[in-house]
Amino acid sequence: MATLKAIRKRIGSIRNTQQITKAMKMVSAAKLRRAQEAVLAARPYAEKMAALLQNLSARVAAEAHPLLTAREEKKVLLLLLTADRGLCGGYNSNLIRAAEGFLRSQRGEKEIQLAVVGRKGVDYFRRRKVEMAERYINIGSRPAEELAAELAEKLIARFLQGECDAVYMLYSRFRSALSQVPTMEKLVPVAAEKDEGEGQATEYLYEPGLEALLSSLLPKVVEVGIYRALLEASASEHGARMTAMDSATSNAAEMISTLTLQMNRARQASITKELLEVVSTAEALK
């Protein structure tokens, strides 16, 4: 059995860790509240952009703009959104596992390029000698809209220059603090579902022309899609970290309770031993 000193030292160490995990839980809860509000505010805007694109795509052919033109997917680029930090349960590992599954499913059939956002994803694939077309770390220090604009510009340029035939994005969609779902979406070429059940679409007049509007709107659709995914990923990360730190705090409390019981038993055994020694000595002196 461990000594009283060792048990007390371990209890103190676990109590210090418990204070850290409890503080991290509170910080993540505050950040989650703000991130969740940002996600809920961004979703309607993204949905309206999609509705506008659907309305426009019903009036034009796929060849009206390069970003609408689907090509045979021989070269595919995957944009993976991970976190810069750990201690958030299975958040990063679930995304990386989904990315590896995608890479394995496409290997041999298509040429796969990888663009990774977040230190955890970058470090994972760098250790495995996987070449990355783009890499971004320390994303928490940059505004999401600035990063989304830069990513959209680079990914669209790669598509238009023929470096890839399609761009997919893998991120964690936020449902709740307990549920974050790895989600795969196709970013480029921009796909808009044409509504077949509404009859003839309403006619609109566009100023400037439809082609000029598409040239302005389509890159913005890609940017808004990435921006929304970044917000979803941020909320998912904070939710996963809050849940993980809550579990760690509870586990620490259970360990402290168990060790306290062991400490009391060890102390009682020590006292009993000392009493027996005193009694034995007294009997020997008679």
88 among known catalytic residues: yes
Q: What is the pLDDT of residues 35-92, one digit of tens each?
A: 988 888 888 888 888 777 777 766 666 666 788 888 888 899 999 999 999 889 899 9
Q: What is the pLDDT of residues 101-160, one digit of tens each?
A: 998 888 777 888 999 999 999 999 999 998 898 899 988 778 888 999 999 999 999 998
Average pLDDT over residues 222-237: 92
* pLDDT confidence bin for 202, thresholds 50/70/90: low
Question: Which residues constitute the domain of residue 189?
Answer: 22-244
Cα–Cα distance for residue pair 39/24, rounded to 1 Å? 22
Q: Is residue 138 part of a domain?
A: yes
What is the per-residue pLDDT for 194? 55
Cα–Cα distance for residue pair 156/77, rounded to 1 Å? 11
Indicate which residue of 76, 88, 166, 235 is catalytic: 88
Domain count, the chain: 1
- Token couple for 95: 């995304």
Cα–Cα distance for residue pair 60/80, rounded to 1 Å? 31
Mean pLDDT of the chain: 86
2 versus 202: the higher-pLDDT residue is 2
Number of neighbouring beta carbons within 10 Å of residue 153: 13
Q: Is residue 261 part of a domain?
A: no
- Token couple for 240: 């996963």
Q: Which amino acid is at 134?
A: E
Cα–Cα distance for residue pair 222/233, rounded to 1 Å? 16
Q: Is residue 87 part of a domain?
A: yes
pLDDT of 20 > 90? The answer is: yes
Residue whose C-alpha is closest to residue 259's, from 4, 5, 11, 2: 11
What is the per-residue pLDDT for 195? 54
What is the per-residue pLDDT for 47? 82
What is the per-residue pLDDT for 52? 75
What is the per-residue pLDDT for 61? 66
Q: Which residue bears the tokens 């796969």?
A: 112
- The H or E element spanning position 81 is strand 75-81
Q: Is residue 285 part of a domain?
A: no
- The pTM (predicted TM-score) of the whole model is 0.84
Cβ atoms of 63 and 151 within 8 Å: the answer is: no
Q: Is residue 12 part of a domain?
A: no
Share of the chain above pLDDT 70, in %: 91
* pLDDT confidence bin for 199, thresholds 50/70/90: very low
Q: Is residue 56 part of a domain?
A: yes
Please tell me whether the peptide bond between 208 and the residue prior to it is cis, using omega within 30 degrees of 0: yes
Q: Is residue 8 part of a domain?
A: no
* pLDDT confidence bin for 273, thresholds 50/70/90: confident
Q: Is residue 6 part of a domain?
A: no
CATH assignment at residue 185: 3.40.1380.10
